[in-house]
Amino acid sequence: MTTDRIPAHSPRRVAITGIGLVTPLGNDVRSTWSALERVQSGAGPITHFDASGFSTRIAAEVKNFDDDAITAPRRFLKFANRSHRFALAAAEEAMRDAGIAPTDEDAERWGCAVGTGMMGVDYADLAEVQRHSAPEGEIDAAKLLDDVSANDPLAFCRSQSTAGVALLTRRFGIRGYATSVHTACASGGQAIGTALKLIRRGAVDRVLTGGFDSMISPVGLAGFCLLSAVSTDNDAPQQASRPFDATRNGFVLGEGAGFLVLEEWEAAKRRGAHIYGELAGDGNSLSSYRITDSPPDGDGPIQSMRAALADAGANPADVDYINAHGTSTGMNDRSETAAIRAVFGADAKRVFVSSTKSMMGHLIAAAGAVEVAICALAIERGEMPVNANYRVPDPDCDLNLVLGEPRRQRVRMTISNSFGFGGSNSCVVLRHPDLVEGAGAR
């Protein structure tokens, strides 16, 4: 099957009509995409806290973020931690971009599906409690989380796994199906896949969906250092994330948020919405191989990619670009390469591949959502971002990488891969709007 014509009996189609981003490259879509075009890195020395005692002292932080960018009433912010603020700002941009929002008449036909991180309590909350509850210089990490809930009810509220989705649904008056997903690095992608299914089956007509996370804290960084998952190239932070390069030695921890507004296709067309593309397919699997690694033969990622293509009614020959999970860790880059080879066969030498983590770092639960948004922008703009910092070829990662400068050509279909710690695998497929029957050229 090709993607030139889509059978009329296909399920309800899903249009992407709004995008919002807060990333280490910029606090909105325009600035983030501009940095990708310039092949600009968002990595640098950690400024959130004193990281001098850690083996890794670099990260890709969101820069110059101002709460004034959030138009929500100020009362919302007292319940919001750092990542929630990113989520509110990115979601507001996506809603503005879509030019639509829930009303009293249709709020129950709106849904919300978000990927959330594991660090529900800000380090600032922990530090504040520590200053009040422990003698100067004494740190009792085991007591900190309990102390937060005992001493600061607002910090307790911010720590709940549902806090982000609650803030978003309240902020926009969404009263339909709402859920949060936490599957580590696959969270954002799986949340968007959930949103796709909600519209397809008619549970809702529109969904605000995406992911948000911020683990750049002593607690978050310590865990990744203990797992030997993050790069220790502290003297060259902008070159530290180098997916598929033979000298790679770990990812650069990032933070941020990415949100989409999704709509039932025909409803979006009727109101004259700008459609970035079709959210066409979703595939998931669970490898359960190791906590930090995907299987060497690509098993698990293979299943998610094949399932997503089948869900989209597509073949590997239809795909022009893969936004790879591409973490810049030794095992996972080899595993993803093996999976792409297995799924794409001879087309693996044709399809272009890049990991935008090479520039913005690994946004953990937000990564998949931001990267799906980048795929939508790649389709709209006919431009594929670079796989930055690639210098030394790895024969085990012999993919058709976008190198040097962005690749400019028509992009018919894209894939976004997200493979999480613990083995959760997500693959999302997007299709150019011209290829959907009746969509017409934009």
Catalytic residues: 185, 325, 362
Query: Is residue 41 within 8 Å of residue 237, measured between CB atoms?
Result: yes
Number of C-beta neighbours around residue 116 at 10 A: 27
DSSP secondary structure string for all residues of 162-205: THHHHHHHHHHT--S-EEEE--GGGHHHHHHHHHHHHHHTTS-S
16: which 2 tokens?
A: 């992407």
Backbone angles phi, psi at 278, to 5 degrees: -95, 130
Q: Percent helix, strand and coil across the chain, each rounded to 5?
A: 40, 20, 40
User: Is residue 405 classed as helix, strand or coil in its secondary structure?
Assistant: coil
Reduced 3-state DSSP string for 224-279: HHHCCCECCCCCCHHHCCCCCECCCCCECEEEEEEEEEEEEHHHHHHCCCCCCEEE
CA dist 220 and 270 (Å) reads 46
Sheet with 321-323, strands from edge to edge, namely 178-181, 110-116, 206-214, 255-264, 14-22, 277-286, 424-431, 413-419, 321-323, 352-354
Which residues fall within 8 angstroms of residue 362, CB to CB, at 6 or more apart?
Answer: 60, 185, 241, 251, 252, 253, 254, 327
Strand partners, 258: 21, 211
CA dist 112 and 166 (Å) reads 9
Closest CA to 420 of 117, 225, 184, 192: 184
CA dist 117 and 161 (Å) reads 8
Burial of 321 (0-12, 13-18, 19+ CB in 10 A): buried
Strand partners, 262: 16, 207
Closest CA to 371 of 15, 25, 3: 25
DSSP code, position 400: -
**First-residue to last-residue Cα distance in the chain:** 24
25: which 2 tokens?
A: 């490259």
